Every structure is written in C-alpha cells, then in structure tokens.
Amino acid sequence: MRTVLGRTTVIGLVAVAALALSGCGSSAGGTGPSGSDTGPVPVVTSTNVWSDVVAQIGGEQVVVTALISDPAADPHSFEPNAQAQLALSKAALVVENGGGYDDFVQTMLASAGTTAPVITAVDVSGLANDPDSAQQGSGADTSHSTAANGGADGHDHGEFNEHVWYDLPAVDRVASAVADQLAAIRPDQADYFRANLATFQDKIAGLTGKIDAIKAAHDGAKVAITEPVPLYLTEAAGLVNLTPDEFSEAIEQGTDVPPTVLAMTLALLTDQQVVVLVYNEQTSSPETEQMLTAAKDNGIAVVAVTETLPEGKDYLSWMDTNISALADALGR
C-alpha cells in the first residue's frame, strides 16, 4: 500500500491500444463487444504494469485499458467514474493486483455486474499464501524469506508485501494465466498467445539470470530501503534489508516516523552499515529526503525505483533498468 506525499494526486483512465505500449495490439477491425469472436479482446487492468504484461501476451489480439496509469496516482484513493465503469462493463478479461492494493476493482465489478474472468496477480503468484516457501519460476531458485514481508533482519513482519510485480516468477505466473484466459476467450488464437508467452518468459529468464549474477557476487550485502516496493527483487538478489519495519511501513502508509526510528534508520547510512539505498522516487517525504541526503553525504550508492511503469518503458525494459542499476551500485 502506498500514499503519495507532496503532490497532487491525478487519476488517469488511459486506453492502451495500438502501439501505445510495446507489444500492444492493433485495434483494426473494431474492438467488438465483450465475448465477441471478432476484433481485439477488450481487457481492463487496474494499473499500467499489468496492462503492459497483457499487451505483450495478447499482442494485436487485445485492446487494453489501464484504470490507473499516472505515476502520482494512489490506488487506495481511486474514485471510479462513468468512463472507467463503462470500460469494465465491456471487458472480456480483468486483471487486478490484489493484496489490498487495488480493492476498487472488486467494488467496480460488483457494480458493473460483469461475468468476465478476473486474474488476481497476488493469488496467482502464490506469495500471499506461503511467502516463506520456495517460489519456482523461469528456472531460478527464488526462495522467499521474511524479507519479502519487510526485511531479513529478524523482525516480525506482519504485513504482506503486495508489490508482487517486483517478483519475476510471480509475473511469469501472471503472464501464463493471461495466456490461458485469452486462449479460452479466443481459442483460434491460442497458438499466437502461447508464442508470445514463450517470448516473454524467455526474457524473464534472461532477467532472472542477471539477478542470479548479482547474488553470486554480492550475496548477503546490506541495503536500506524507503518502502517495501523493491523487496522481492532485492531479496532474490541475496541482499539483506536492514531498514526498521516501523520506518518503511510509516512511509508506505503516509504516517509520521517516530523520532527514535528515524534516528536508527539514518544511522544505517551515516554509520555506513549498508552499501546501497533503494529509494522509491515516486514517494517523497521529509524523512525519505533525509535518507537520500544522508546516503549521498556518506558515499552510499542510491538506486532509484518506481512503483508504476515509467513513461516510455515496457515491463521488461523497466525491470532490466532496475536490475542493472542495482548491479552497478553494488559494484562501485
């Protein structure tokens, strides 16, 4: 869960069609009604992250609408409008994140009365049910310890980290579920969806290899974070998060950080207890700015990440940029 501070929240409804996203399908031939066997399949997703995954699997056979595409948007404050509700009512497939991240989707589905299948990424990922067990995907060992729930420092982590799109095996599973559902909706295009899925999974495997290389070189390296957003990625790379849970949870919830907790967190940087600060640049507060300043003043490498898909990036290139930045920072 995330609260964006210090900026005006803008909620955008963007139809992701034609070439608006890498791999997204053409709308030639008409979109057709939900369930129609002609024209691209109308798909609605909660965020642009999942829209891009759908677009890469569905290609020219889908037209995708992302209910939230603006980086400054907070899913918890999303207020559906008539345009959003109309898009959902016509959807042949819906993809939500789940885990409390985008509960508005379920509210809208109840109002729309749609019978379209719904893929919930958190459920498909398997991370919520058993976050401590080995999660296999793309041929990689991606065992998840408590770091996925907020750190690997022995703290009691009570809250599930819903940012499952930073877990490559989870995204691989969601992409497979998308291919399955699209094949069920449009059986004559099943081979096309499977071919796109295979291409996507090959690229996920390539990214997993880069994460494995980081782990081989830097397993056990200590890091700090401002929010839990990147923890699935950092843990897969073998990195240990030392940030107090009270700090990252307060930043995520938009609440005040207790002075003693802030002092403990800043000491990680001023005392050079960590080698990298992973900083969510979409969420700014006085406390996170203090962390950023302390890192720079003490020669701690900073890796900036975002919660939603940046403009001009697809999911794969976005994750590749994050992984490369992390490797560069650790190699300093």
Question: Each residue of 199-216: pLDDT tens digit?
Answer: 999 999 999 999 999 999
The span from the CA of 222 to the CA of 239, in Å, is 6
Residue tagged 């001023």 (tokens): 270
The span from the CA of 46 to the CA of 51, in Å, is 8
Taking the chain, what is the end-to-end CA distance rounded to the nearest angstrom?
A: 32
**What is the β-pairing status of strands 276-280 and 62-68?**
unpaired
How confident is residue 47, by pLDDT bands cut at 50, 70 and 90? very high
| The pLDDT value given to residue 326 | 98
How confident is residue 284, by pLDDT bands cut at 50, 70 and 90? confident
**Residue 1: is its pLDDT beyond 90?**
no
| The pLDDT value given to residue 71 | 64
% of the chain at pLDDT higher than 90: 67
CATH class name, domain 14-205: alpha beta
**What is the β-pairing status of strands 222-225 and 276-280?**
parallel
The span from the CA of 133 to the CA of 145, in Å, is 7
The percent of the chain in helix, strand and coil, each rounded to the nearest 5, is 45, 15, 40
Range in 68-82, 183-197, 216-230, 274-288 with the lowest mean pLDDT: 68-82
How confident is residue 36, by pLDDT bands cut at 50, 70 and 90? low
**DSSP letter assigned to residue 219:** T
| The pLDDT value given to residue 129 | 74
Other C-beta atoms lying within 10 Å of the C-beta of residue 62: 31
Question: Each residue of 75-118: pLDDT tens digit?
Answer: 767 787 888 899 999 999 999 999 999 999 999 998 888 889 99
The span from the CA of 224 to the CA of 238, in Å, is 13
For the chain, where do the domains classified as CATH 3.40.50.1980 start and end? 14-205, 212-330
Average pLDDT over residues 283-290: 93
Residue bearing the bigger pLDDT, 59 or 6: 59
Output the pTM of the full model. Answer: 0.82
| The pLDDT value given to residue 11 | 31
Average pLDDT over residues 307-314: 90
**Residue 132: is its pLDDT beyond 60?**
no
How confident is residue 128, by pLDDT bands cut at 50, 70 and 90? confident
Beta-ladder partners of 241: 223
**Which CATH architecture describes the domain 212-330?**
3-Layer(aba) Sandwich (3.40)
Beta strands in the chain (DSSP E): 14-16, 41-47, 62-68, 93-96, 118-120, 134-137, 140-143, 222-225, 240-241, 276-280, 301-305
The span from the CA of 250 to the CA of 2, in Å, is 10
The span from the CA of 206 to the CA of 320, in Å, is 9
Q: Which amino acid belongs to residue 147? A: A
Residue bearing the bigger pLDDT, 24 or 97: 97
The span from the CA of 140 to the CA of 144, in Å, is 12
Helix axis angle, 104-112 to 82-89, nearest 10°: 70
**Residue 301: is its pLDDT beyond 80?**
yes
| The pLDDT value given to residue 327 | 98
| The pLDDT value given to residue 37 | 67
Residue tagged 């096309």 (tokens): 192
Most confidently modeled range among 130-144, 169-183, 280-294: 169-183
Sheet with 240-241, strands from edge to edge, namely 240-241, 222-225, 276-280, 301-305
